[in-house]
Chain A
Amino acid sequence: MKYLKFPGKMEMLQFNSEQFNSLFPFYFLLNNKMQIIKTGNSLAKLIVINRNEPFSEVFAIQRPVLETVADFKSSVNLCNQLISIKCLKKENISLRGQFQYLQQADKILFIGSPWFSSVEEIKENNLKLNDFAVHDPVIDLLHLLKTQEIVTDEVKVLLNTINKQKSDLKRLSLLAQETVNGVVITDASGKIEWINKGFEKITGYSLEEIKNKTPGSILQGKDSSAETINYLKQQILNKQPFVCEIINYKKNGQQYWVRINGQPLFDNKNMLTGFFAIEEDITQEKENELNLQHYEERFRIALEKIGDNVWIHDFESNTTEFSKNDTDFLGFDLSKTKINPQLWWNCVHPDDKWMLNKNNAAYLAGEIDHHNLEYRIIHKTGQVKWVLDRGIVFEKKNNLPLRIIGTHTDITKLKEAEATINTQKQFYETILNNIPSDIAVFDNTHKYLFVNPKGIKDENIRKWIIGKRDEDYIKFRNKPSYILEGRRKLFNEVLKSKKIKSWEEEVIKPDGSREYIIRNMYPYVNEKGIVELIIGYGVDITERIKIEQQLKIAQQETQEAALAKERFLANMSHEIRTPMNGILGITGFLEKTHLLPKQKEYVHLIKESTSNLLVILNDVLDLEKIIAGKLELEKTPFNVSQKIKAAAESFRHKAEEKYLTIKYKNNLPENLFVEGDPYRLSQVLLNLISNAIKFTEKGTITIGADIKQQSKNTIEISFFIADTGVGIAKNKLTQIFDPYVQAKADISRKYGGTGLGLSICKNLVEIQNGNITVESKEGKGSTFNFTITYKKAKQTTEPKPIVLNFKGLKNKNILVAEDVEVNQYVIENMLKNWGCKTTIVDTGKKAVQAVKSKSFDLILMDVQMPEMNGFEATEAIRKLSNKQKANLPVIAVTANSMKGISSRYKSSGMNDYILKPFDEASLFAVMEKFLLSKYPSKKIGVKKAMVYDAAKIKALAKGDDAFIKKLSEIFTRTSPQIFKALQEAIAEKNWQQAGKEAHKLKSSINSLGISDGKKLIEDIEQRCKTKKQLSTVALLCNKFKIVLDKSIEQLTNNFLN
């Protein structure tokens, strides 16, 4: 073992290496060359140092600071100084220690320890506590350092905590100080220690003024509740928290309400240190509460006054209080419900209890906060009442309802009214639902409000449609859009006009059949004049339309049949009258010749037979006229008595022939003039007298008249004809006036006649507003009574009987146009007998020619003639340039006695007519008017009847002649073209086109007022469009052409030439 020797003052101490290392494990030894020649164990562990490694390569002296690099000498001088050296070979390693010069060895010894800044560096440099000398305090220093570090951290945390608490405290203090509520802190005896600003503000007291006084002593007064004060005292005494509301007094004496929330304060040892209280000024709140109470009271009273019972139900105690405890509602005293919470529930109708149970459960589950129910209760008397029960939560506990308030209203009457309304509604709905019409009610936006099952059969669709628009339904049903448009248009029109509208809807069903519906929209206008609802109803008129169509066809057929009948009668009349004219005429001539008595009798018989035949003919025609409504009555003044007398007298001869007496019992004034048809009166009288004579073999015929009643202007005359004849069987009396009926089957054979006479009488009397009856006893006789009411007339001069003064006709030139030779002969002879000069022609054409070539005073023009008929001939004559000739009087001679004939003559420009057969007197009478009187025949001739309506055209033109001319020009130019197109379309059977062409013509025909053409062209159009009765279209077209040609001719003559 090697010993190190350390010289001391007194002695040298010797250590072996191990001892030295143990004491100074970080030493090193320098030789005088400043080389490290020896190191301690721990230093060697810390730094790798090679033997004799120069000091300067391993270390640098940090302190003291040397001016030059440390050499041995300067290093020796550093002895006894604290040396800090830095290791150059390892970062952050410093040694702290001291140099000791070992003079004897001429070496420098460094003794020290590594200088670490933290415990962690020991570990980092791979050192352990054992590497340090036990005495070395470095470890302890580092330990202290670490502890200091820990403590510093703790202090920092502590400071942070303190700062936070300080800050919290400051905030709390501020809160306490600045809160608007009063804060007061007292000591354990309740004496004030501290108050905040809020307290000062509320009370008006400063801390100095009230310190060490109890709050109660300074704030409470006469209105402070003694009960509350007592409560406060008890709580304070018992060291308990307290919450209360009390009236306090401010420093200025003013009262205020305060809510006190106080807490006792305890120290760690649970010793009472004082009280802390927050005082909230609730004066305003109290006022509001009071107002609310007043308001609630008023509201409650109001509710009660209007019949409602206000109630409060407490869920916790399950009690209900009622504001009105009378017995109106249940018949029980409602104040008992607190005692018997089930009282109300027990009265609820068993069928309605579920409603209240459900409601109650919903409240308790917190699902609802109000309710509105209608249910039934059973009154003590057993009467069922309806209640409207409404309620709302006004107090909660744990977010669940604690108390609800509400009202009960007796709605029994309302319900009864509702029930009545519902019954009525059901009643009307039942009616509406069963009416066989589509009925729908719309609001004013065309939305469905109601539709009945007839309108929509499917119940689901019926429900679906409510609230939908009509167009939704049309779309849903895939109905054609024109139906929608039609309905919408109508709807809007109804909405605007506020008037009912109707239209016809034609629906083609899938099977091709057609359905016709009349739809109506009726507006319901409310009090403000606004259309609120529109009621639509549709009626299926398919059957009606079908019947109408059938009727139309039937009517048309009837009309055609009637027309055919009329034509037949006209022809028959014509064909009979024409030869009869000859027979009568010739018989008349024969009568005037010298005849043997037997011959005279024969001639008389011929005349008689002819007359009878004429009567029959006239009867038939008259009856047809009457039935067809075509008999025209005259209105002329006449003397009734004279007519009766004349009628009676006319049969006197016949009566006498049968040895019958005619009695005349006229009670009418002789000069009684009335206005009416004397001819038809005579006809009735003659008919009845004739019958009376016919059916009476012996006895008397009595003819009479009497005034049945009269007024200032009218007179009802009763006529009678009584006989003592065969009479009429009772069972025949009712049929006696029927046409073609006779009392007995053999009458016709025995007495002759057609059986038309009485029927004609009846009809004639009735069209004169009269009445005819018969009384009869078979074998005793019959009495016919009839009455006619006439308008009274002033007495006039009766037309004088025609005096056949032929002198005036002498040398008159008469043109006779007649194709039947016998008639030519009759007329010619008559005229010759009168001294006339006659020219006979047998055609219309010849007549015109004759007029042109010769001069005449009058023309007797037969109507039916070959080549040119009488009408055409007359028209041709009227067109002659020689005005005198053109204006010749033309008298139609016709066998056609049917209605309308006279107008037809006139429209052709003829002046008058005479019906075949005629006698001399009749012919003279009509000729005399034109040849002997001052009759302005000229004017008549000029006033040629126009097919167009001149007045209408003039009104249209408003005095503008140019317009009329233009109108005429357009019509005459275009209508033939259109007519041609019409004919072509008809020929091609293009009915649609034909209808269009007819329509074009219709409008112009209308505007010119061509009435004859209007009906024809309308018929043509209708038939083409409906494609019905097409077989007669061509015929109608031909007729129309005649009218058209004439109108063109007239318009051209009158406006264009």
Chain B
Amino acid sequence: MYGIVNKAIEDLVIENFGAEKWDAVKLRSGVDIDFFISNEPYDDDVTFKLASAVSEELNITLSEVLIAFGEYWVLKTGKEKYGSLMEAGGSNLKEFLVNLPNFHNRIMLMFPKLTPPEFKVSNLEERSIHVHYISKREGLQDFTKGLLQGLGKLYNTAVTIELLEDRASGSHHEIFKVSW
């Protein structure tokens, strides 16, 4: 993961629970990195350790941590740092989700060391869409769920996320049905 992800976790914890809690999280995670550089790739393990430590430190499930982080990623990191880019992605949720595969593929090209997941969309309806999440990493689908929830909030649109398929159930990848 690029530093920007870990940094987002750090910001999330500090913003909501304070620097001391972040120190505690870091101490708990065993991650001995004081400063994350956004475009610097870090081992995925770092991110997992941090997320797990947050979960333990705040006494919430990892799933909840990842969902919260996904939302935060969209609403804080994305909006604050790439606000214009996000907005250029679409005028509404649907448009953005339709553009999401292209948007994400561009990132892959821009960050050559990144092994980003691939997004696909299908079943485009008036008020729903299927978002396909194809990733080599395990256990980050909750993060994707958080991202999708965050996007709903970004476009001020009430959404329901439904996991249609996942790898744990034997599917090739996760399919989320986003309805609004």
A interface list, Cβ under 8 A from B: 118-120, 122-123, 127-130, 134, 139-140, 142-144, 146-148, 150-151, 154-155, 158, 161, 268
Q: Which residue of A lies closest to B91 (CB)?
A: A128
Cα(A142)–Cα(B88), bound, Å: 12
B32 touches A268 (CB 8 A): yes
Residue in A128, A142, A158 with the greatest tally of chain B CB atoms within 10 Å = A128
A146 touches B85 (CB 8 A): yes
Residue in B38, B90, B91, B103 with the greatest tally of chain A CB atoms within 10 Å = B38
Cα(A239)–Cα(B23), bound, Å: 25
B interface list, Cβ under 8 A from A: 4, 7, 32, 35, 37-39, 81-82, 84-85, 87-91, 95, 99, 102-103, 106-107, 109-110
- The contact sample of 7 A-B pairs, CB cut-off 8 A, is A129-B89, A139-B106, A140-B110, A142-B85, A147-B38, A151-B38, A154-B37
* Least Cβ–Cβ distance between A141 and chain B, in angstroms: 9
Cα(A566)–Cα(B38), bound, Å: 148
Q: Which residues on the A side are within 8 Å of B85 (C-beta)?
A: 119, 122, 139, 142-143, 146
* Least Cβ–Cβ distance between A23 and chain B, in angstroms: 15
Cα(A139)–Cα(B84), bound, Å: 11
B81 touches A158 (CB 8 A): no
Cα(A146)–Cα(B82), bound, Å: 7
Tell me which of A128, A130, A155, A161 contacts B37 (CB under 8 A).
A155
* Least Cβ–Cβ distance between B93 and chain A, in angstroms: 14
Cα(A154)–Cα(B7), bound, Å: 10
* Least Cβ–Cβ distance between A526 and chain B, in angstroms: 76
* Least Cβ–Cβ distance between A365 and chain B, in angstroms: 36
B107 touches A143 (CB 8 A): yes
**Known contacts being A119-B88, A129-B89, A146-B81, is A151 close to B37, with CB within 8 Å?**
yes
Cα(A134)–Cα(B106), bound, Å: 9
Q: Which residues on the A side are within 8 Å of B90 (C-beta)?
A: 128-129
* Least Cβ–Cβ distance between A368 and chain B, in angstroms: 42
Cα(A129)–Cα(B96), bound, Å: 10
Tell me which of A143, A150, A151, A161 contacts B106 (CB under 8 A).
A143
Cα(A146)–Cα(B78), bound, Å: 12
* Least Cβ–Cβ distance between A533 and chain B, in angstroms: 76
Cα(A621)–Cα(B35), bound, Å: 148
Cα(A318)–Cα(B28), bound, Å: 47
* Least Cβ–Cβ distance between A161 and chain B, in angstroms: 7
Q: Which residues on the B side are within 8 Å of A143 (C-beta)?
A: 82, 85, 106-107, 110
**Known contacts being A119-B82, A123-B88, is A134 close to B102, with CB within 8 Å?**
yes
B102 touches A150 (CB 8 A): no
* Least Cβ–Cβ distance between B36 and chain A, in angstroms: 8
Tell me which of B4, B82, B88, B95 contacts A127 (CB under 8 A).
B88
Q: Which residues on the A side are within 8 Å of B106 (C-beta)?
A: 139-140, 143
* Least Cβ–Cβ distance between A152 and chain B, in angstroms: 10
Cα(A158)–Cα(B85), bound, Å: 25
**Known contacts being A129-B102, A143-B107, A158-B35, is A150 close to B81, with CB within 8 Å?**
yes
B99 touches A129 (CB 8 A): yes
Q: Which residues on the B side are within 8 Å of A129 (C-beta)?
A: 88-90, 99, 102-103
Q: Which residues on the B side are within 8 Å of A127 (C-beta)?
A: 88
B39 touches A147 (CB 8 A): yes
Cα(A134)–Cα(B101), bound, Å: 12
Q: Which residues on the B side are within 8 Å of A142 (C-beta)?
A: 85
Q: Which residues on the A side are within 8 Å of B35 (C-beta)?
A: 154, 158, 161
Q: Which residues on the A side are within 8 Å of B87 (C-beta)?
A: 123
A151 touches B88 (CB 8 A): no
B38 touches A154 (CB 8 A): yes
Q: Which residues on the B side are within 8 Å of A122 (C-beta)?
A: 84-85, 88
Q: Which residue of A lies closest to B30 (CB)?
A: A268
Cα(A140)–Cα(B110), bound, Å: 7
Q: Which residues on the A side are within 8 Å of B103 (C-beta)?
A: 129
Q: Which residues on the A side are within 8 Å of B38 (C-beta)?
A: 147, 150-151, 154
Q: Which residue of B lies closest to A134 (CB)?
A: B102
Cα(A143)–Cα(B83), bound, Å: 11
Q: Which residue of B lies closest to A121 (CB)?
A: B84
A158 touches B37 (CB 8 A): yes
Q: Which residues on the B side are within 8 Å of A154 (C-beta)?
A: 7, 35, 37-38
Cα(A158)–Cα(B110), bound, Å: 23
B84 touches A123 (CB 8 A): yes
Cα(A408)–Cα(B107), bound, Å: 89
* Least Cβ–Cβ distance between A992 and chain B, in angstroms: 105
Residue in B35, B88, B107 with the greatest tally of chain A CB atoms within 10 Å = B88
Cα(A336)–Cα(B81), bound, Å: 79
Cα(A755)–Cα(B99), bound, Å: 172
* Least Cβ–Cβ distance between B33 and chain A, in angstroms: 12
* Least Cβ–Cβ distance between B111 and chain A, in angstroms: 8
Q: Which residue of A lies closest to B81 (CB)?
A: A150
Q: Which residues on the B side are within 8 Å of A128 (C-beta)?
A: 88-91, 95
* Least Cβ–Cβ distance between B52 and chain A, in angstroms: 18
Cα(A154)–Cα(B32), bound, Å: 18
Q: Which residues on the A side are within 8 Å of B4 (C-beta)?
A: 150
Cα(A134)–Cα(B103), bound, Å: 10
Cα(A134)–Cα(B39), bound, Å: 24
A-B residue pairs, 4 tightest by C-beta: A120-B84, A119-B84, A119-B85, A122-B88
Residue in A123, A154, A155, A268 with the greatest tally of chain B CB atoms within 10 Å = A154
Tell me which of B39, B81, B99 contacts A130 (CB under 8 A).
B99
* Least Cβ–Cβ distance between B112 and chain A, in angstroms: 11
Q: Which residues on the A side are within 8 Å of B84 (C-beta)?
A: 118-120, 122-123
Known: A140-B106, A154-B37. 12 other contacts (CB 8 A): A119-B84, A119-B85, A122-B84, A123-B88, A129-B102, A129-B103, A139-B88, A143-B110, A147-B39, A150-B4, A154-B38, A158-B37
* Least Cβ–Cβ distance between B85 and chain A, in angstroms: 5
Q: Which residue of A lies closest to B27 (CB)?
A: A268
Q: Which residues on the A side are within 8 Å of B88 (C-beta)?
A: 119, 122-123, 127-129, 139
* Least Cβ–Cβ distance between B84 and chain A, in angstroms: 4
Cα(A268)–Cα(B85), bound, Å: 41
Q: Which residues on the B side are within 8 Å of A119 (C-beta)?
A: 82, 84-85, 88
A140 touches B91 (CB 8 A): no
Residue in B4, B38, B85, B102 with the greatest tally of chain A CB atoms within 10 Å = B85
Cα(A155)–Cα(B38), bound, Å: 9
Cα(A128)–Cα(B35), bound, Å: 34
Q: Which residue of B lies closest to A120 (CB)?
A: B84
Q: Which residues on the A side are within 8 Å of B89 (C-beta)?
A: 128-129
* Least Cβ–Cβ distance between A339 and chain B, in angstroms: 51
Q: Which residues on the A side are within 8 Å of B102 (C-beta)?
A: 129, 134
* Least Cβ–Cβ distance between A458 and chain B, in angstroms: 75
**Known contacts being A123-B87, A129-B89, is A140 close to B109, with CB within 8 Å?**
yes
Q: Which residues on the B side are within 8 Å of A144 (C-beta)?
A: 110
Cα(A127)–Cα(B95), bound, Å: 14
Q: Which residue of B lies closest to A118 (CB)?
A: B84
Q: Which residues on the B side are within 8 Å of A146 (C-beta)?
A: 81-82, 85
Cα(A140)–Cα(B109), bound, Å: 8
Q: Which residues on the A side are within 8 Å of B110 (C-beta)?
A: 140, 143-144, 147
Cα(A120)–Cα(B87), bound, Å: 9
Q: Which residue of A lies closest to B82 (CB)?
A: A146
* Least Cβ–Cβ distance between B128 and chain A, in angstroms: 21
* Least Cβ–Cβ distance between A143 and chain B, in angstroms: 6
Cα(A120)–Cα(B81), bound, Å: 11
* Least Cβ–Cβ distance between B149 and chain A, in angstroms: 22
Q: Which residue of B lies closest to A129 (CB)?
A: B88
Q: Which residues on the B side are within 8 Å of A120 (C-beta)?
A: 84
Q: Which residue of B lies closest to A144 (CB)?
A: B110
Q: Which residues on the A side are within 8 Å of B95 (C-beta)?
A: 128
Q: Which residues on the A side are within 8 Å of B107 (C-beta)?
A: 143
Q: Which residue of B lies closest to A123 (CB)?
A: B84
Cα(A601)–Cα(B79), bound, Å: 182
Cα(A122)–Cα(B86), bound, Å: 11
Q: Which residues on the B side are within 8 Å of A147 (C-beta)?
A: 38-39, 110
* Least Cβ–Cβ distance between B34 and chain A, in angstroms: 8
Residue in A129, A151, A161 with the greatest tally of chain B CB atoms within 10 Å = A129
Cα(A158)–Cα(B40), bound, Å: 14
